[in-house]
Amino acid sequence: MLKAWVARFLRRHLVLALFLVVSSIVAAIVYEVTGGWKPKAWTYDAPELNSVDLEGPDRPSSLWRDDDFECLGWRATHNCDPYGPRDEARDRKCGEPMPRTSGYCEVRNRTSGQVLRVMLATCKSWQWSLGCALPVEVWIDPTEMRAKHSVLVELVKYYNVLIRIIQDPNASKFHAKPYAIYNSRFESVLWLDSDNIPVRDPTYLFEAPEFVKHGAIFWPDFWRPAIDTPFNVHQQSALWTLLDMPFTNMFEQESGQLLVNRSRSQAALSKLMFYSSHMPRLITDWQLVWGDKDLFRLAWLNTSTPFYMVQHLVALGGLYDEDENFFCGVSMIQRDPVGDIIFMHRNQAKLTGRQQHAIGFSIEGRGLFNKEEEAEVAKMEGDAQAIQDEEAAAIIRARERSEKQTRGIFGIVVVVVLGVWLRWQWMRRCRKSRPKLESKNSSVVSEDPSSSHVTLAVDPSSPETSGSSTAVFSGASYSSRRRNSSFQLDD
């Protein structure tokens, strides 16, 4: 019974069946190609980032795992030297705070039994272990950190760091950097983001020929607008019209580190402050650039102030999983004008106060926070996590709404197309069932067993009907109200 019904349906509606099959195939192909219109992350074709030969001699070693090694303890040393004579009286067990002395941590490989020295430390901070004696300003936003914070107090007490407070409430987030450089007490400023770590003493940069000649050194970002960019600094951007300057085809700027001579860059710094602090901030509010990262080179270019852009491409540093053959980049590695690595900007995986497993103890072994500060940090991170969860839930809800709307639109289109097709089929059948006049010069008589009959007579030779045709219709079975009717058709 079912087979007969299906066969009868296909015979009568073959075009409809073919339409549904083709539509389903096309919809499946579109869904597969577009991924169901789900948002995808930005991907960029940047071969220069893949500079590590995973199969060659420079292949990174496998990552350490927690279960591969065991901690033996902290080994203290004399003479402020991690390689100096042992000071066993100041040794510490694993998990105990490290003393304010030089030394190292011993770990042992559980499989091979090999003992390794890690976390080598002098009796001074990492700054002094690099031999850096530059004066330091630390700029803070009073809405984010108190000037009496224990970390800041320790920096001032032991390391002669000058704490500077941002007084302008509008100079927050990205806009704090131009404000700090513009108001610094130093003639030449090496700006470092708080997540940017020098791997060597950067003092020599102040005497680099490029800085002496140009008065400013900037570092490149990953992207070049003429090739690809996730931001709006491309040739067709409204940015160039707004700044009244031609498009400049050069690498975008990464502003995690900046070296500027303030006296030689006064015009550029004034333009920079205009871009950053003048209301409305059209450049950033309209998202023509991302944060402050390109404001510096744009201000220098627009005022014809010379600067040197490091010619070595930025590299990517991170973790490599040998089992998965997977590399996860967390830091931007910048080089000096000669090409030697100088800065590691860890801007992809931020360290927070709660990540004690990552940062351990603070300066020379003392805890980073007291109990009140721990509670404050926990509350801040809880609030931030709640905001992230809410944003993630909003994204999921928006995606579900988008999918429902897409399915609804697709269903409406299918119904409309099906309705149009059915209407077309009905009209075609109606046209086939209508009587047709084969020619003007014809006479047709149709009779059936009933008493009704149809007579059509045309006499084109008659002068009274010249140019017209006369048709007479009569019958009893076609209409119960009118037995006889006649009409004239004019050609």
pLDDT digits (tens, 9 = 90+) for 158-205: 777 888 988 888 877 778 888 999 999 999 999 998 888 898 889 999
The yes-or-no verdict on residue 381 having pLDDT over 80 is no
pLDDT value of position 160: 75
Q: Which residues of 187-219 are buried (b: 16+ CB within 10 A; e: fewer)?
A: ebbbbebeebebeebbeebeebebbeebbbbbb
Mean pLDDT of 2-7: 77
Question: Quick one: 330 and 455 in the same domain?
Answer: no
pLDDT band at 127 (very low <50, low <70, confident <90, very high): very low
Which of 128, 133, 124 has its CA nearest to residue 101?
Answer: 124
Residue 427: φ, ψ to 5°: -65, -35
Closest CA to 300 of 336, 258, 330: 258
Give the number of other Cβ atoms within 10 Å of residue 128's Cβ. Answer: 14
Highest mean pLDDT among 224-233, 403-412, 430-439: 403-412
Rounded CA-CA distance 115/94 in Å is 15
CA 186 to chain centre: 36
Same domain, 185 and 72: no
Question: What value, to the nearest 5°, has the Cα angle with vertex 212 and ends 206 and 218?
Answer: 70
Instruction: Grade residue 436 by pLDDT with cuts at 50, 70 and 90.
Output: low
- Tell me: do 233 and 285 sit in the same domain: yes
User: pLDDT tier at 393 (50, 70, 90 boundaries)?
Assistant: confident
CB 289 within 8 A of CB 221: no
Distance of alpha carbon 120 from alpha carbon 322, whole angstroms: 26
Q: Residue 182, SS3?
A: helix
**Six-digit token string for 152:** 């800041």
Do 210 and 359 have their domain in common?
Answer: yes
**pLDDT value of position 351:** 52
* Of 213-227, 440-454, 459-473, highest mean pLDDT: 213-227
pLDDT of residue 39: 46
How far apart are alpha carbons 222 and 220 in whole angstroms? 7
| Same domain for 263 and 350 | yes
Q: Which residue segment(s) compose the domain that 264 sits in?
A: 128-366
The pLDDT assigned to 258 comes to 93
Based on the fold, state whether residues 203 and 231 are members of the same structural domain.
yes
| pLDDT of the residue at 49 | 40
Residue 345 CA to residue 473 CA, distance in Å, equals: 97
Q: Compute the distance between CA of residue 374 and CA of residue 380 in angstroms, rounded to an integer.
A: 10
Q: Residue 198 domain-assigned? A: yes
Per-residue confidence (pLDDT) for residue 433, from 0 to 100:
72
pLDDT, greater one: 333 or 327: 333
Distance CA 485, CA 300 (A): 95
Whether 52 is covered by a domain: the verdict is no
Domain co-membership, 409 together with 282: no
Under the banding of pLDDT at 50, 70 and 90, the label for residue 238 is low
Please say which residue of 121, 153, 185 terminates a domain.
Answer: 121
Q: Which uninterrupted H or E stretch holds 3?
A: helix 2-12
Residue 469 pLDDT > 60: no
Query: What average pLDDT score do residues 282-304 get?
Result: 78
Point out the least confidently predicted range of 121-130, 215-224, 442-451. 442-451
**229 and 318 inside one domain:** yes
In whole angstroms, what is the distance from residue 373 CA to residue 352 CA? 13
Q: Are 115 and 106 in contact (CB under 8 A)?
A: yes
Same domain, 262 and 383: no
Q: Which of 305, 334, 366 is the last residue of a domain?
A: 366
Query: Mean of the pLDDT values across residues 382-400?
Result: 80
Question: How do residues 358-372 score in pLDDT, each as one tens digit?
Answer: 333 333 334 445 677
CA distance 325 to 59: 11
Peptide bond into 280 cis (omega under 30): yes
The strand pair at 188-192 and 326-335 is best described as unpaired
- Of the candidates 132, 109, 108, 105, which has an alpha carbon nearest to the alpha carbon of residue 120? 105
Please tell me whether residues 106 and 197 are part of one structural domain.
no
Is residue 335's pLDDT more than 80? yes
Burial of 32 (0-12, 13-18, 19+ CB in 10 A): exposed
Q: Is the pLDDT score of 327 beyond 50?
A: yes
pTM metric for this prediction? 0.49
209 and 77 housed in the same domain: no
Residue 88: inside a domain, yes or no?
Answer: yes
Question: Nearest-CA neighbor of 170 among 27, 51, 279?
Answer: 279
Split at pLDDT 50, 70, 90, the class of 40 is very low
Q: Clarify whether residues 268 and 186 are in a common domain.
A: yes
pLDDT at 322: 77
Q: How confident is the model at residue 156 (pLDDT cuts 50, 70, 90)?
A: confident
What are the structure tokens assigned to 353, written together? 């106060």
Number of domains forming the structure of the chain: 4
Please compute, for residue 372, the number of CA atoms within 13 A of its CA located in the half-sphere on the CB side. 4
In this prediction, residue 123 carries a pLDDT of 59
62 falls within a domain: no
Residue 438 confidence (pLDDT) above 60: no
Tokens 């510096």: give the residue.
296
Domain holding 185: CATH number? 3.90.550
